Structure 1
Amino acid sequence: MTQMVSENTRNDNILDLFLTTNLTFVDKVNIIPGISDHDITSTIVNARPNILKQKPRIVPRYRKANWDDFKQFMNTTKSDILKGSDSLSVEQIWLRFTDAIKRDTDH
């Protein structure tokens, strides 16, 4: 619980209590001069919570994929990558693989 009144309401004392467990509900707390020796606490409360809308996520539909074409592409890519791969580093083989995938997805 959090005390929302932080200013003095009577001399050097805080007499008014306004406690909350959800700070997002409270928009503003003001201290207004009162008629007597005690100031009045004015609070603006938003009864509806602030709801953050999430961005829609991407859900791949694997059952709609053309798996035969994908297998053919992967076999072709594998043979293209492995040509002369004895002298290549792992990084160079990885770059060949990622370049082949990027080229295929651009079409």
Structure 2
Amino acid sequence: MTEEFLSNALYLTIVNRLIPVAGTGNAKANIAALEPLTNDRLNLLADRLAALAPCPVTGLVTDNEIKIALGEHGDIWPSCIRGHIMVADLEGDLQPH
């Protein structure tokens, strides 16, 4: 899967739109919240978001669970981490094989 880096504003907007609908079992509501993203990942990602378990501490689906799902299941990240990933990739390439 190809990584997708969104502007920080768009990434946070999507996370905030998902907070009320993630974990409700309603994949259609999650697809609507993901509306700015139109690609082949949406259905799988919407299903994953619909089935999110709540945070064990708060008992609610929080932005943390949503961000983890966006990254792990959609490979969607905020652009602010792009530089860190590039450095990590370079450091990995410099390690002896």
Q: TM-score, normalised by structure 2?
A: 0.27
Q: Specify which structure has the bigger relative contact order, considering alpha-carbon pairs within 8 angstroms and separated by 6 or more residues.
A: 2
Q: TM-score, normalised by structure 1?
A: 0.25
Higher helix share: 2
Please tell me whether Structure 1 or Structure 2 has the larger radius of gyration of its CA atoms: 1
